[in-house]
A and B are shown apart, each in its own frame.
Chain A
Amino acid sequence: MSTILEPSGGVVKIDGLDVASKSAECKRRIGVVPQEIALYNELSAYQNLLFWGSLYDVPKPELKKRIEEILKLFGLWDRKDDKVKTYSGGMKRRINIASALLHQPKVLFMDEPTVGIDPQSRNLIYEVIKKLHKDGMTIVYTTHYMEEAERFCDRIAIIDNGQIIAQGSLEELKNSVAIKETIVISFSNLTEEFLKQILAKNKDVKQVDDSLQFFSLNAKNDLSKIILQCNEIGLEILQIEIQKVNLETIFLNLTGKQLRD
């Protein structure tokens, strides 16, 4: 989608242009924020942005104007002349994003842009993403944080082992699974033997560490039955929690596994 890899199948169009055959034109219309911080540490933030912006042939006076705007937007104008190597992880992430915006792309690819940063930087990045979205930019956002996908995305695709296993709006995804709530019960003595007995009596159950997640259409109705089963076989309950269905539980329900890094 971002023009580097040969497509394994299908067609991707950016602004009406086929990525495979018109990659040069597509490159001018997209911005990419890679997961790794791809900046030159020995250059200042300003020099970095000047370089990355110059690759897209933005006229220099216009580029300088945009750099000033973006650095102010990300709260880094005062540190513009400091070398990137002196920045904190969060500041580097902000410059990493800023460098992909200078040519005002129509489509922005963001690969986990908030991994490993402080809450202040994360919130600032969230604000910028909301602003870009509001201004009409299409953002393809890759994340392991389901709350980010729920918060920002109009359409969500869940990918497991390189395959899209579900896609649609958040509501569509919620409706696509036969669950409304999740009963999460933590145990003090969960063993393989106990698990086998529970699985024999319940279909939609997943183990996460020392707890079991029971997917349910009506938690209030199912809860007493499940507690009774646990008592009968001798499972000691530590904690019970009822969660509304969310992306995390949808993912777990679809893939049978927790989100991985």
Chain B
Amino acid sequence: MPTPCDQTSPTRDETVHPPSADPFVGLRVAITGGTSGLGLALVREFLARGASVAFVARGRERVERVARDHPGSHGIVGDLSKKDDIYPIAMQMAGELGGLNVLINNASDLGPTPLALLGDTSCEDLERALATNVLGPFRLTKALLGALAASARDGRAAVVVNISSDAALNAYPRWGAYGASKAALHHLTCIWNEELAAEGVQFVSLDPGDMDTPMHALAVPDADPATLKSPEVAAREVTDAIRAVLPVRPAM
């Protein structure tokens, strides 16, 4: 098992688990950016495994459509980059789920599109990337920390997954705004994890790899989809990585 502060590039866990031991049944999971790409695949994966799922995204129409198409999910409209949206989002997540076990900070902003050299990146584009990729997850995590710590005290799972990128660790030209914001998020994840280990809240930084998602198409428009990972596969890898850090519960 990787230590939570390696940035893990997960591979499929091939262990066969009996269904009765599935630790996801009844788990309360909140996902940001849940109406497309990896976020939507995560909504489906967690629902299929018996978890209760709340997701947030900016567009009301899309949120309502995804919630309608996925009975049992809780759709929340909100913008993670806006300070005033954070507590209303947190309240709906903790209220509708009746507490929280897993928070997945998945919503991300690419910075300038098309991608640009840092010298050509407007300050506003960098600010927006930082607001969505760093401040948003920090604020939301802080608002939900009480709910997560309560789960941990109760002997239940309390995990925050921050979706990272290899651009957080490598200096790819033209990925400056995104890469710098993801590097900051990755480092926050590591420090959260050190500071809250004693409270029983775990933090994981995960790099899902290059996926066939709307965001990737925006960044690399001419990429061959055949070379990209499907979000569904990435979502299963994320759930496997979460499973690896869940408290061990005996099968019922």
A and B bind: no
